[in-house]
């Protein structure tokens, strides 16, 4: 259980994040995470510029789709664009 990020109760919760190895290499790892969750109407261009310099955008995008992330910028794409991608993949 040492791979869990601990909560204030120091016990895993359904929302506990298990970091993946690629996350340490992400360009966003040392930036303000709020930038990747822009306010409604904000296209998140600052976050997208950071993603454009990142070596792990494919892994990040796959992570967001696999975990059904419905908010934020992952792999350089906002949630609405990711949803369109997953709809295209379904028969």
Residue 16 lies in a domain: no
pLDDT in tens, 58-76: 999 999 998 889 999 999 9
* Predicted pLDDT of residue 5: 46
Residue 63 lies in a domain: yes
Residue 14 lies in a domain: no
CB 59 within 8 A of CB 51: no
* Predicted pLDDT of residue 86: 82
Is 12's pLDDT higher than 70? no
Domain boundaries, position 31? 21-89
**What's the total number of domains in the chain?**
1
* Predicted pLDDT of residue 61: 95
Is 8's pLDDT higher than 50? no
- Say how far apart CA 85 and CA 61 lie, in whole Å: 11
* Partners of residue 74 on adjacent β-strands: 77
Residue 1 lies in a domain: no
Residue 27 lies in a domain: yes
């Amino acid at each position: 259980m040492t791979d869990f990020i601990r909560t204030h109760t120091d016990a895993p919760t359904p929302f506990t994040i298990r970091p993946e190895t690629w996350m340490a290499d992400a360009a966003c790892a040392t930036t303000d995470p709020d930038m990747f969750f822009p306010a409604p109407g904000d296209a998140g261009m600052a976050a997208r510029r950071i993603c454009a310099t990142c070596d792990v955008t494919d892994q990040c995008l796959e992570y967001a789709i696999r975990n059904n992330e419905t908010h934020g910028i992952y792999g350089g794409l906002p949630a609405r664009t990711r949803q369109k991608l997953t709809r295209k993949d379904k028969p």
